[in-house]
């Protein structure tokens, strides 16, 4: 009943906007003489805002997935990092990052105008949406890229160092990559332009590369690898499941919203492809895990669905539904392979962020050059030759080099200043208590007595984990 009321209210709201535009003639100041153009602008802006709200809702999805896959003593810490990602990202990206990404037509970076959203036009140039709606839409994408990294660094990264990282990706690293591809930079200026419809590279590979670099600089959790290694399963698979479905739902704003207007056929195709790829990724990862491990495990299915979503994000508007299934299924398989490879290399990624976002992002970007068949974008399998695939590979390599290099400088500086890795004491007792003085589950781990002891003595209040 509640869901029916929600959709009835949403439909009524949209209908009211349409009627208001058609009858009353509410308009943007730029053109009050063309009711049809006014209606188009208002509807396109409304759709972009709804899509942005869905992408914003993905923040809670990331928080729940990461909380579910981490241990009880670190839940407050991971939730607060997810919260501050959006807070810091909002302040820094809209003040500086957006201008660097869209405020100029330089090959490498923008930055000619729109700092602190000063002097902006009413309608974003080249589109039919409000400038402020477009800025908010881009903001929630930037916040998504930032929050990918928190899961890979979970349970052992200092909170203050993480805040520095969050600011740097939002104000510089993400905007530079975004400018190259979406802001008119050199990859967009090529004769065969790089194609990334909704961010397999711009958002997910950027976050994935930084997650990998951060995990390497940070090192594994105490007791994670070695002769005395012990399993470190997440504390609540239910939260991870709920978070995955929230992310899946949010992706229906992430990908269809990237159409940037209300072109019904395009939005419909993108929506269908997005869903099919997620299903294929979940099934493929579950099947591979079942075959290799002997049991179907939910965690593989959840990350498989997310990998399928990441993989279809770049090609979702230029492939058929059948091809979306293939792309999503391979995305799930790539995620599985990357997670296993990292384990063998003793690189600790508690939530599988690198496999999902970097593995899925690279594959999805390549898939454009293989499967695309839409107007000027034609992939290898549809007679387009190697041109698009070469551009996609070039984008993957150059974005990877820039992000890895920037990440190495960033995380290297944090490590040199002792702002990166939490102390062994903090890791053993949990970052919740050590860094925040509070627990997500006060009845567990000694509860209030543990908090009082920690505040009074600054000594470890719990014994070392088995194998430490």
Q: Can you give the residue ranges of every domain in the chain?
A: 58-416
Q: How large is the average pLDDT for residues 190-203?
A: 97
Nearest-angstrom CA–CA distance, 352 and 279:
18
pLDDT at 231: 85
Instruction: Quote the mean pLDDT of the chain.
Output: 90
Mean pLDDT for the stretch of residues 118-138: 97
pLDDT tier, 463 (very low <50, low <70, confident <90, very high otherwise)? very low
Answer whether 85's CB lies under 8 Å from 146's CB: yes
Q: What burial class does residue 179 get, using C-beta atoms within 10 Å of its C-beta: 0-12 exposed, 13-18 middle, 19+ buried? A: buried
- Domain 58-416 grouped into CATH 1.10.3720.10: no
pLDDT above 70 (res 204): yes
Q: What is the rounded average pLDDT of the residues 175-203?
A: 97
Question: Is residue 445 predicted with pLDDT exceeding 90?
Answer: no
Instruction: Quick: pLDDT tens for 230-243.
Output: 889 999 999 999 99
Query: How much of the chain exceeds pLDDT 70, in percent?
Result: 88
297, 238 in Cβ contact below 8 A? no
Within 13 Å and on the Cβ side, how many CA atoms surround 248?
23
Q: Tell me what percent of the residues of the chain surpass a pLDDT of 90.
A: 84
- Name the band, by pLDDT with cuts 50, 70 and 90, for residue 465: very low
DSSP string across 152-215: HTTTTB-HHHHHHHHHHIIIIIHHHHHHHHTSS-HHHHSSS----SS-IIIIIIHHHHHHHHHH
Answer whether residue 17 shows pLDDT above 70.
no
**28-86 pLDDT, tens digit each:** 444 556 888 899 999 999 999 999 999 999 999 999 999 999 999 999 999 999 999 99
In DSSP terms, which residues pair with 377 in a beta bridge?
374
Task: Give residue-wise pLDDT tens across range 363-395.
Answer: 999 999 999 999 889 999 999 999 999 999 999
- From CA 261, how far away is CA 287, in angstroms rounded? 38
Question: Does 288 score more than 70 pLDDT?
Answer: yes
Distance CA 308, CA 333 (A): 9
Q: What angle do CA 280, 286, 290 make, to 5 degrees?
A: 145
Answer yes or no: is pLDDT of 9 > 60: no
Start-to-end C-alpha separation, the chain: 51
- Rounded Cα distance between 384 and 377, Å, is 8
pLDDT for residue 23:
38
**For residue 375, which phi and psi values (nearest 5 degrees)?**
60, -120
Helix pair angle (174-181, 131-152), 10° resolution: 130
361 pLDDT more than 90: yes
What's residue 61's pLDDT? 97
């Amino acid at each position: 009943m509640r869901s029916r009321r929600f959709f009835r209210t949403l439909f009524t709201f949209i209908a009211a906007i349409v009627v208001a535009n058609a009858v009353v003639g509410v308009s943007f100041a730029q053109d009050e003489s063309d009711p049809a153009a006014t209606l188009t602008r208002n509807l396109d802006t409304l759709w972009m805002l709804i899509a942005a709200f869905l992408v914003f809702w993905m923040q809670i999805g990331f928080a729940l997935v990461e909380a579910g896959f981490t241990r009880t003593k670190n839940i407050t810490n991971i939730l607060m990092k997810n919260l501050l990602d959006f807070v810091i990202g909002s302040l820094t990206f809209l003040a500086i990052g957006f201008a660097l990404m869209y405020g100029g037509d330089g090959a490498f970076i923008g930055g000619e105008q729109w700092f602190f959203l000063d002097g902006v036009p009413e309608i974003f140039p080249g589109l039919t949406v409000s400038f402020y709606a477009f800025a908010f839409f881009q903001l929630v994408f930037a916040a998504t890229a930032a929050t990918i990294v928190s899961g890979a660094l979970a349970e052992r990264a200092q909170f203050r160092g993480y805040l520095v990282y969050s600011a740097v990706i939002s104000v510089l690293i993400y905007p530079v990559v975004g400018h190259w591809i979406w802001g008119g930079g050199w990859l967009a200026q090529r004769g065969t332009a790089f194609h990334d419809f909704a961010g397999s590279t711009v958002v997910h590979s950027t976050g994935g590369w930084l997650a990998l670099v951060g995990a390497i600089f940070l090192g594994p959790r105490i007791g994670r690898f070695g002769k005395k290694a012990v399993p470190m399963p997440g504390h609540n698979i239910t939260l991870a499941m709920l978070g995955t479905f929230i992310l899946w739902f949010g992706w229906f704003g992430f990908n269809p919203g990237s159409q940037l207007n209300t072109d019904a056929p395009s939005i419909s195709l993108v929506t269908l492809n997005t869903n099919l790829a997620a299903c294929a990724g979940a099934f493929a990862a579950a099947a591979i895990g079942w075959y290799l491990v002997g049991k179907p495990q939910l965690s593989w299915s959840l990350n498989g669905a997310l990998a399928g979503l990441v993989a279809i994000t770049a090609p979702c508007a230029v492939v058929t539904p059948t091809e979306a299934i293939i792309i999503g299924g391979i995305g799930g398989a790539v995620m599985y392979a990357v997670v296993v490879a990292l384990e063998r290399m003793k690189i600790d990624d508690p939530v599988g962020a690198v496999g999902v976002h970097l593995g899925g992002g690279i594959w999805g970007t390549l898939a454009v050059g293989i499967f695309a068949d839409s107007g000027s974008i034609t992939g290898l399998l549809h007679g387009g030759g190697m041109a698009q695939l070469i551009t996609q590979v070039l984008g993957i390599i150059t974005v990877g080099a820039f992000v890895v290099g920037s990440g190495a400088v960033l995380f290297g500086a944090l490590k040199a200043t002792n702002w990166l890795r939490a102390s062994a004491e903090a890791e053993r007792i949990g970052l919740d208590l050590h860094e925040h003085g509070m627990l997500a589950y006060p009845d567990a781990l000694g509860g209030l007595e543990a908090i009082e002891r920690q505040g009074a003595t600054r000594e470890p209040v719990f014994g070392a984990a088995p194998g430490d």
